[in-house]
């Protein structure tokens, strides 16, 4: 067969890559268009494209191209084609139609007109007519009208060529296979894969990047797994030529798989999509070469075995279409950037994203950007080389600290300053071993100066306990000013680094209101956990410092366990559980604000909501409906709650027996419940001692910075009685 004219379609944005690929496959007269490429070639070229193109969607063999000014003109043009030379009169048929012209305003009517012309032609010539079949028709006809020009073509590909045949199982919004291949080509994988290297997709989903990368490395034709092409029932199909080309491709595959291939590794936090990935990899026949593991970004490290000094990471992370999702993902991207700088120096990284701004959180700058599309979503492919120079160059510049002018201390301020120095001295040895930058330094040690003072990194957070009405307000204010100047003096701290709040008893709606709306979140460290605190907007900062030992217990207990955090607040304990190796976790709180905060804390440490769920719900109602069992549960309820979202009022002294009984129903037979609360007058009901194995661990639940006030909280370990020794 002589040279034929084709239009080969592809995803928008990769036309130039497709043109290069088609040229390598033997095309001539290659011309780029929107979402496709015009080319000429013989039948062998068409078959090679169906078999070997990693980028094309469809290969359309042009039958007629002519002006159309009405629906009748379209009918006449289609009818005039010698259809009996292309298809059996009783074959099945499907029409793909796009565009419009006078008399045709929708694709359904246009397709109907084309179908009528083909059916009428064959019936007039043979006395038989084809039938319509959408799924795997014998002949697929494509008609596209633009600016009065109709292109009538045979679709030799059948269904889109991006459907290789290996991906039956897919996660949410998976990348099409040919878009994934285009990303790999843009990232330079075809050259890199010829070296001793490793390929990692840390958010692999259904495994598309891994499979496409392995097929490139092993020289596997992407069309080999397909059982249906549009040319197979075409009358001009050359079966012998097709079988020859297919056998050549099978031979190349066998030879490719016998070579030393790169190490392919896929990770994802969601066990369900991991199962899909394994099935797809097995269906592609590559399970011997690709390994996939459930793993969070937090656990991402360079492989420890093998001789590779470099490799490639390719990832399509979530885009964050909603504001709250994007805020959470900022922290996940930040953690990803930290993992890259920590473990992958010398590696190339390709990130395909529909939200490039999120990548700024990684503190890395790409050396190359490519605009691309995922369907209708405008995206970018960002390429990075992770080197020592990148880390040094893009670390935030240190701002010179201005000279601090310290205030002169009054007699009262000097007294507070002396107590602060004394407390610091007591904490000195502990602080040498404490891996963190937030702790308490003063808590109303001098009764006249009734404030709590906490260090949060470079800041001091001062909470003033409201003075009794018998105290002169001016005198109370003067004492507060003296406490502030004492903090400035002892910690050599400018006034703008000191955050002041007044803690008074909150009633009704006041207990839920914000103090300010600055949204000034800052990151602090607590024993390897990165946590977000807000020192200005809320009465509490987002981190209860006195519960640090409880979080440490949770971390130590949670390895390979299922963890439940009730009244989770900002889920700081869940972060520790996840770092400690919790298999999965659920955190429940009624506040949407705290749930969003919790998700951000988890993301900041590289944990997604696949294994670590955050649920906004009334804890009591959630417990009543819960059917899951947990190995470690933290129950840290408020002393009193009458949120408008609750059907009833929670009073911890009155309701704790019922609450503990309800929680124990969700505790596994050998599990541990950690029950704590901050009601100073709280008394555990003795009835619980007869029902459960209970250990009072309050003495163990205070670090030295809170040892001065043993009534600050209460804490017990509770187990099912049958496990007692």
pLDDT by residue (tens digit) across 689-701?
999 999 999 999 9
pLDDT at 572 over 80: yes
Specify the CATH number of the domain 177-218+256-394: 3.40.50.150
Query: Residues of the chain with pLDDT > 90: what percent?
Result: 78
Assigned CATH for 524-725? 3.40.50.150
CB atoms within 10 A of CB 498: 19
- Is there a common fold for 177-218+256-394 and 524-725? yes
Residue 392 pLDDT class (50, 70, 90 cuts): low
For residue 328, the model assigns a pLDDT of 85
Residue 537 φ then ψ, to 5°:
-85, -20
- Residue 176 DSSP symbol: P
Provide mean pLDDT across the span 322-334: 79
Residue corresponding to tokens 């300053």: 417
DSSP structural state of residue 310: -
* Mean pLDDT of the 382-389 span: 85
Count of beta carbons in the 10 Å neighbourhood of residue 706: 19
Q: Measured in Å, how far apart are the chain's first and last C-alpha atoms?
A: 87
Phi, psi of 6 (to 5 degrees): -135, 155
The set of residues, in sequence order, having a beta carbon less than 8 Å from that of 214 and lying 6+ positions away, is: 199, 220, 261, 262, 264, 284, 286, 289, 290
Confidence check: pLDDT of 291 > 90: yes
pLDDT of residue 647: 55
pLDDT band for position 573 (cuts 50, 70, 90)? very high
State CA 678 to chain mean position distance: 35
CATH number of the domain at 4-155, please? 3.30.2130.30
Residue-level pLDDT at 105: 86
650: its two tokens: 């929670």
Q: Which residue has the higher pLDDT, 397 or 182?
A: 182
Q: What is the mean pLDDT of residues 445-452?
A: 92
400-504 CATH fold: Transcription Regulator spoIIAA (3.30.750)
Mean pLDDT (the chain, rounded): 91
Q: What is the per-residue pLDDT for 645?
A: 47
Phi-psi region of 87 (alpha: psi -120 to 50; beta: other; left: phi over 0): beta
DSSP 82: -
Q: What is the pLDDT of residue 646?
A: 47
Average pLDDT over residues 674-696: 95
Q: Are 140 and 161 in contact (CB under 8 A)?
A: no
Among 499, 636, 457, which Cα is nearest to 564's?
Answer: 636
**pLDDT over threshold 90, residue 2:** no
Average confidence (pLDDT) over 190-202: 93
The 10s digit of each residue's pLDDT in 518-534 is 568 999 999 999 999 99
pTM confidence score:
0.85
**388 pLDDT higher than 90:** no
pLDDT of residue 259: 93
- Measure the CA–CA gap between 15 and 151, rounded to whole angstroms: 19
What residues are paired with 461 via a beta bridge? 454, 499
Q: Residue 122's closest CA among 98, 139, 99?
A: 139
> Which stretches of 488-646 are assigned E, i.e. beta strand?
498-503, 521-526, 529-534, 562-566, 584-589, 612-616, 630-635, 640-641
Nearest by Cα to 460 from 433, 489, 430, 434: 489
The residue count for the chain: 725
Query: By the 8 A CB rule, do 386 and 345 touch?
Result: yes
Helix (H) or strand (E) holding 142: strand 139-146
Rounded distance between C-alpha atoms, residue 440 and residue 706, angstroms: 7
Residue 684 has pLDDT above 80, yes or no: yes
Which H/E stretch holds residue 28?
strand 28-33
User: Between 231 and 358, whose confidence is greater?
Assistant: 231
Helix axes of 43-52 and 239-257: crossing angle, nearest 10 degrees: 40
Between 355 and 614, name the one with better pLDDT.
614
Q: What is the pLDDT of residue 399?
A: 47
- All structural domains of the chain with their residue ranges: 4-155, 177-218+256-394, 400-504, 524-725
- DSSP, collapsed to helix, strand or coil, labels residue 216 as helix
CB 705 within 8 A of CB 545: yes
Task: State the pLDDT at residue 188.
Answer: 96
Task: Report residue 394 as tokens.
Answer: 């893009």
pLDDT for res 395: 53
Per-residue confidence (pLDDT) for residue 248, from 0 to 100: 98
Q: Judge whether residue 480 has pLDDT over 70.
A: yes
| CA–CA distance, 14 with 213 (Å, rounded to integer) | 17
At a CB cut-off of 8 Å and minimum separation 6, what does 497 contact? 458, 459, 460
For 318, the 3-state DSSP assignment is: coil
Where do we find the tokens 């390897």? Answer: 528
Q: How confident is the model at residue 207 (pLDDT cuts 50, 70, 90)?
A: very high
Q: How confident is the model at residue 357 (pLDDT cuts 50, 70, 90)?
A: confident
The region, left, alpha or beta by phi > 0 then psi within -120 to 50, assigned to residue 600 is alpha
């Amino acid at each position: 067969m002589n040279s034929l004219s084709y239009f080969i379609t592809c995803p928008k944005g990769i036309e130039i890559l497709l043109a290069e690929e088609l040229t390598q496959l033997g095309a001539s007269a290659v011309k780029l268009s929107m979402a496709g490429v015009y080319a000429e070639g013989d039948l062998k070229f068409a078959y090679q494209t169906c078999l070997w193109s990693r980028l094309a969607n469809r290969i359309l063999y042009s039958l007629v191209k002519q002006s159309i000014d009405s629906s009748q003109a379209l009918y006449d043009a289609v009818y005039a084609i010698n259809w009996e030379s292309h298809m059996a009169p009783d074959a099945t048929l499907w029409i793909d139609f796009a565009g419009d012209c006078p008399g045709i305003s929708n694709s359904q009517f246009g397709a109907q007109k084309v179908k009528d012309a083909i059916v009428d032609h064959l019936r007039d010539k043979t006395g038989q007519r084809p039938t319509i079949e959408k799924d795997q028709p014998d002949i697929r006809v494509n008609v596209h009208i633009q600016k009065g020009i109709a292109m009538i073509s045979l679709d030799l590909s059948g269904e889109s060529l991006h459907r290789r045949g290996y991906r039956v199982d897919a996660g949410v919004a998976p990348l099409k296979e040919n878009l994934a291949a285009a990303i790999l080509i843009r990232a330079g994988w075809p050259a890199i894969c010829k070296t001793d290297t490793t390929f990692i997709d840390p958010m692999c989903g259904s495994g598309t990047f891994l499979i496409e990368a392995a097929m490139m490395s092993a020289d596997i034709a992407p069309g080999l797994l397909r059982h249906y092409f549009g040319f197979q029932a075409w009358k001009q199909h050359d079966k012998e030529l097709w079988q020859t080309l297919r056998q050549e491709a099978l031979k190349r595959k066998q030879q490719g798989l016998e070579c030393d291939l790169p190490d392919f590794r896929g990770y994802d936090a969601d066990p369900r999509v991991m199962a899909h990935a394994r099935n797809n990899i097995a269906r592609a026949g590559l399970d011997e070469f690709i390994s996939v593991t459930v793993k969070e970004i937090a656990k991402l490290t360079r492989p420890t075995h093998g001789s590779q000094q470099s490799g490639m990471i390719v990832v399509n992370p979530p885009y964050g279409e909603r504001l709250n999702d994007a805020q959470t993902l900022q922290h996940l991207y930040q953690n990803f950037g930290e993992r890259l700088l920590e473990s992958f120096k010398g590696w190339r990284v390709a990130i395909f994203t529909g939200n490039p701004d999120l990548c700024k959180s990684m503190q890395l700058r790409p050396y190359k950007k490519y605009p691309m599309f995922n369907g209708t979503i405008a995206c970018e492919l960002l390429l990075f080389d992770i080197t020592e120079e990148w880390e040094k160059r893009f670390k935030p510049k240190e701002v010179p600290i201005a000279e601090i002018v310290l205030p002169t201390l009054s007699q009262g301020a000097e007294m507070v300053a002396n107590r602060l120095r004394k407390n610091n001295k007591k904490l000195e040895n502990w602080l040498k071993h404490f891996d963190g930058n937030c702790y308490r330094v003063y808590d109303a040690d001098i009764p006249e100066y009734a404030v709590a003072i906490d260090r949060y990194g470079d800041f001091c957070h001062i909470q003033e306990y409201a003075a009794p009405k018998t105290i002169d307000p001016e005198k109370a204010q003067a004492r507060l000013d003296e406490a502030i100047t004492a903090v400035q003096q002892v910690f050599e701290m400018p006034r703008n680094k000191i955050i002041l709040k007044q803690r008074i008893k909150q009633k009704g709606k006041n207990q839920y209101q914000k103090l300010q709306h600055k949204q000034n979140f800052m990151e602090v460290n607590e024993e390897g956990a990165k946590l977000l605190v807000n020192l200005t907007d809320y009465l509490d900062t987002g981190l209860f410092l006195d519960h640090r030992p409880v979080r440490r217990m949770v971390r130590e207990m949670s390895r390979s366990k299922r963890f439940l955090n009730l009244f989770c607040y900002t889920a700081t304990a869940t972060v520790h559980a996840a770092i400690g190796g919790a298999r999965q976790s659920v955190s429940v709180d009624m506040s949407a604000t705290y749930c969003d905060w919790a998700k951000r804390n988890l993301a900041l440490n590289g944990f997604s909501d696949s294994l670590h769920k955050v649920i906004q719900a009334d804890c009591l109602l959630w417990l009543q409906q819960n059917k899951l069992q947990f190995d470690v549960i933290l129950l840290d309820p408020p002393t009193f709650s009458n949120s408008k979202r609750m059907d009833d009022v929670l009073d911890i002294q009155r309701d704790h027996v019922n609450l503990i009984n309800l929680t124990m129903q969700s505790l596994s037979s050998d599990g541990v419940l950690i029950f704590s609360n901050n009601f100073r007058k709280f008394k555990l009901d003795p009835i619980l001692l007869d029902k459960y194995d209970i250990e009072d661990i309050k003495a163990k639940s205070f670090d030295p910075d809170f040892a001065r006030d043993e009534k600050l909280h209460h804490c017990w370990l509770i187990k099912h009685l049958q496990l007692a020794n």
